[in-house]
Structure 1
Amino acid sequence: MSKIRRSMAVLVLALVGLVGCDSEPRTVGDANPARVAEMKQVLRDLWVGHIFWVQHVVSNNATNNQAERDAAEKEVVANTKQIASTMTPFYGEAASEKLFSLLDINYGAVREYSEATVAGNKQQQDAALARLASNADDFAVFLNGVNPYLSKETVRGLIAAHGAHHVLQINQYKGKEYAHLGATWPMMRQHVYVIADTMTTAWAKQFPSKFS
């Protein structure tokens, strides 16, 4: 129960962060605001695709629909490759591959937590939560390392909250809390918008000429 309370605390912090992000100006340095807005939309769409397909994996785990789960998992992998590829124009293939690895580990931990929750295996749940926490740290080190406009604290908070959203959703499927699931989705969607916008803003600050 204490882990669930901690997850909920992270969710509250994420929602507080949305207020600050909404007030940021769209113009970033010498970058063309229209180009920045276009890139934000591209990333938003990709991240929404991520939570959409992961939700399908989770829901099919809960109902033990293996065929549908496997199909959704293929979409998760394809989407992960697309998200990772957005880094290539800025940092090259090696950075794209690193981002893919981090996203894949994140999804793997979510899937592990989902399977453990269905099985009622608390030890495996705890191991998955530990992997999510470690993954958030690794995201922070990597993204701050390539872009000084992405602080470790910001990245760690964004990824930790993202993982907590998945955990909350899994617990709600387990408890058949369908009314609450309906409220969780828009919260998850809004949060990945923040991730996408934060990434794009940092890229535009570091590489304004690529948004001219």
Structure 2
Amino acid sequence: MSTSFKPLGLAVALALAGCSQAAPSADTADLAPPADTATEAPTTVADAAPAAEAAAVPAPQLQAAMRDLWHGHIVHARDYVIAVHAGNDADAKAAADAVVDNARQISGAVAGFYGQAGGDQMLTLLGGHWGAVKALTDARAAKDDAGATKAIDDLNANAAAIAKFLAGANPNLPEDTVHGLMLAHGAHHAQQINLILADDTAGEAQEWAAMQAHMDMIADALAAAIAKQFPDKAS
């Protein structure tokens, strides 16, 4: 990651709240169902959404950095599910390592702006998010319902923890809003896992397209919120 993006670390971290849109299956019933946001911006982020929808992007470099790193998160997580389903241990390990490396980049960026303690906290939270997604993938692949239920519970708990951290760092993003976005993000990971393991290629392709598009929407809205919080640093 370019050092020029390090002061934008919080914005990158906030994009974790991004989620795609599709109705969760019965397997994700314990996660809060995402709102119908696949084709519209998250209007609950009152200060961020109008700026994100504006023709002029207030902080284009920030926006680009957020999109790039958070696309990495969902790409590598998806690669892990595909490899597990194929029974390819080497590819699964490589994908898992890539998710962790991506989390370290994000956390390093946060540390460059908020200090090492902030970076360490972000890494711990991202580790909890990925640990739950990985556990859910493994449990579903093994048809372990109890393991899957625990993983979903862990995703929910982690969503609350991330929301508290991010809302505390950015006053323009209410904790309840970020919490809802994180729950939806987890639900979409779960939905994608189910579709891949079910060999539903068409369904997963639709989910994947929505996931990427909505990740951009959330990243753009959050970039606007960070630009408002740090107008002298976001560019």
Flag whether TM exceeds 0.5 (same fold): yes
Question: 2-side partners of 1:84 and 1:17: how far apart?
Answer: 29
Q: What's the offset of the Cα at 1:207?
A: 1.4
User: Greater shift after overlay, 109-118 or 89-98?
Assistant: 89-98
User: Greater shift after overlay, 92-101 or 103-112?
Assistant: 92-101
**32, 39, 51: which one aligns with 1:25:** 51
Q: Report the equivalent of 1:130.
A: 153
Structure 2 matches for 1:7-46, cutoff 5 A?
10-15=33-38, 18=41, 20=43, 24-25=50-51, 36-46=59-69
Q: What's the offset of the Cα at 1:24?
A: 1.8
Question: 1-side partners of 2:118 and 2:159: how far apart?
Answer: 17
TM-score with structure 2 setting the length: 0.79
Q: What's the offset of the Cα at 1:73?
A: 1.2
**180, 186, 200: which one aligns with 2:203:** 180
Q: Which has the higher contact order (CA 8 A, sep 6+)?
A: 2
Q: Report the equivalent of 1:4.
A: 28
Q: Secondary structure at the match of 1:208?
A: coil
After superposition, what is the alpha-carbon deviation per residue over 1:150-195, rounded to whole angstroms, capped at 9, x for unaligned?
A: 2111211221111111100110112111111111111111222233
Report if aligned partners of 2:125, 2:158 keep a CA contact under 8 Å in 1: yes
Q: What's the offset of the Cα at 1:87?
A: 2.3
Percent sequence identity is: 33
Amino acid at match of 1:24: P
Q: Secondary structure at the match of 1:169?
A: helix
Q: Report the equivalent of 2:5.
A: none
**178, 186, 189: which one aligns with 1:155:** 178
Q: Report the equivalent of 1:207.
A: 230
Report if aligned partners of 1:112, 1:125 keep a CA contact under 8 Å in 2: yes
Q: In structure 1, list runs of 5 or more residues that go unmatched.
A: none
| Residues 26 and 64 of structure 1, relative CA distance in 2, 3 Å threshold | closer
Q: In structure 2, list runs of 5 or more residues that go unmatched.
A: 1-24
Amino acid at match of 1:57: Y
Task: Please provide the CA RMSD for this pair.
Answer: 2.5
Structure 2 matches for 1:44-123, cutoff 5 A?
44-123=67-146
Question: 1-side partners of 2:103 and 2:115: how far apart?
Answer: 16
Q: Report the equivalent of 2:212.
A: 189
Report if aligned partners of 1:14, 1:157 keep a CA contact under 8 Å in 2: no
Q: Report the equivalent of 1:167.
A: 190
